[in-house]
Amino acid sequence: MFHPRRTLRALLPLVAGLTLTALPAPAATAATALTNAGFESGGTGAATPAGWSESGDTAASYTEAGGRDGGHRLAHWSSSAYRVETYQQLTGLAAGDYRLTAWVRSGGGQNAAYLALRDCGGAEQRTGLPVSDSGWLRIVVPVTVSGGRCTVAVVSDAKAGNWINVDDLTFERGTAGLGVKGADISSLPKSEDRGGVYRTASGTAGDPLAILRSSGMNYARVKVWVNPADGYNDKAHVLALAKRVKARGMKLLVDFHYSDAWADPGKQTKPAAWAGHGYEQLKKDVHDHTHDVLNALKAQGTTADMVQVGNEINGGMLWNEGSTSNWSQLAGLLNSGYAAVKAVSPSTSVALHLAEGGDLDGTRWWFDQAVAHGVRFDVIGLSYYGYWHGTLHDVQTTLDDTAARYGRPVYVAETAYPFRLDSEDALENIIDSESELVPGYPATPQTRWMNDVASIVEAVPGGRGLGVFYWEATWTARPGNGWDPADPSSGNGWENQALFDYDDRALPAMEWFRHR
């Protein structure tokens, strides 16, 4: 990704160690299913919903009209600061894995607002409520039950006027979590060669991959250009970086741009060496280039675990021959890349990657065409930048629909968020003003954005939400490592969205890698 500059009540995710007023001991009645899970019993204004208990500032918890699928919902709100918990204990549960699912909305701004599963036989599990003041979002909380019981809780620690809504909870057998908690680190070799330094949160200089790995990162994404002007992001650099990635016990995604520079929805320029080639030759170019890079990776013991055939190919690739105005040719190019991947490693997953993750209609159109033209693929990746690509409700709708419609796992191939708005170098940042931010998500080093995006992907039905890649975690501001590979003086408009601060220290936002 490189782009030019382009009355309710609710909340944000969790604060560790939040304590509320001690709860009274629940009655030991056998109840293996949630009672009044849709908050319909009692109607509007029920101070304590039937089947539920409350603790803390109980006047801030009640039912009201406007349910997601029914007449009513649970609300937390007060005109003054409050702490409240609405909870229900289940008993008589067989030992095993369970999953709480709930539909939520939140206006944001709370100290903490989350769903919790506690007293289930192990550590308490939480999922923060993402900010969404209109569309309902589905989130999940997994837990392993032993001892036969588990308490389901809705918790708010809120400022005056903050609100949340919760509705339609289910507690059933199942698990949740993300297999991919990754980051794109393509800029790293050039940064280090230009003097880039990376430090732990305490200030100790170290290997950035070790720092990221120790924070929980388990997958690295690396782009490949064909003959880049600065010599970086080429085969040799990908091979060297892959060794470092695998040495840290992480998996590897190789992102083929099929260009000498950035490929995205606005530009899919053929490499200079392929510029005069016709369609049949381009198919061979795609196959041979893909096979060459991947075979070299395999030969050195760093086989790619996933491959993207093309980068943000909403309009196709290798224009004009491979544009979406000629789907039969685009399909041939994509299948040529697919065949090359599988020839090297049949177990390597092949992903197709679009931008505009909140665009349901556009995503449907593209993949309907791909399927109709016999394009082969294993996984679907979508870029999703909340300041450009719609709401969290939009991206959840698109991810859910895409996974179900095409029967493939899905992942967020790119996302990022600012931790500050000022620039470290002379180039204006891509996002540099409050007005550009996603409502409810300020630019802070403790950004909650990534946890909430991860929660949306985790909740994709059928376990088809693979995970998330943070875009360019290590692209800090270094002279000579700007956006234009042909211009050493070009700057970096993304350094305020890296995972290292302007003092080169690891940011608290890196903690999102510890998402389940």
Mean pLDDT for the stretch of residues 166-185: 98
Per-residue pLDDT tens over the stretch 260-303? 999 999 999 999 999 999 999 999 999 999 999 999 999 999 99
Per-residue pLDDT tens over the stretch 310-369? 999 999 999 999 999 999 999 999 999 999 999 999 999 999 999 999 999 999 999 999
Give the residue carrying structure tokens 């330094």. 197
Mean pLDDT for the stretch of residues 114-123: 98
The answer on pLDDT for 15 being more than 70 is no
Instruction: Quote the pLDDT of residue 56.
Output: 98
Average per-residue pLDDT for the chain? 94
Confirm if 460 and 410 have CB atoms less than 8 A apart: yes
Residue 80 burial class via C-beta count within 10 angstroms: exposed 0-12, middle 13-18, buried 19 and up: exposed
Residues annotated catalytic, as ranges? 312, 414
Q: How far is residue 218's CA from residue 297's CA, in Å, rounded to a whole number?
A: 18
What pTM was computed for the model?
Answer: 0.93
Instruction: Quote the pLDDT of residue 447.
Output: 82
Residue 1 burial class via C-beta count within 10 angstroms: exposed 0-12, middle 13-18, buried 19 and up: buried
The answer on pLDDT for 1 being more than 70 is no
Q: How far is residue 273's CA from residue 232's CA, in Å, rounded to a whole number?
A: 17
- pLDDT band of residue 31 (cuts 50, 70, 90) is confident
- pLDDT band of residue 18 (cuts 50, 70, 90) is very low
Per-residue pLDDT tens over the stretch 134-172? 899 999 999 999 999 999 999 999 999 999 999 999 999
- pLDDT band of residue 445 (cuts 50, 70, 90) is very high
DSSP letters, 1-21, are ---------------TT---S
Q: How far is residue 454's CA from residue 418's CA, in Å, rounded to a whole number?
A: 17
- pLDDT band of residue 45 (cuts 50, 70, 90) is confident
Give the residue carrying structure tokens 């900010």. 131
Strand pairing class (465-470; 180-184): parallel
Instruction: Quote the pLDDT of residue 25.
Output: 46
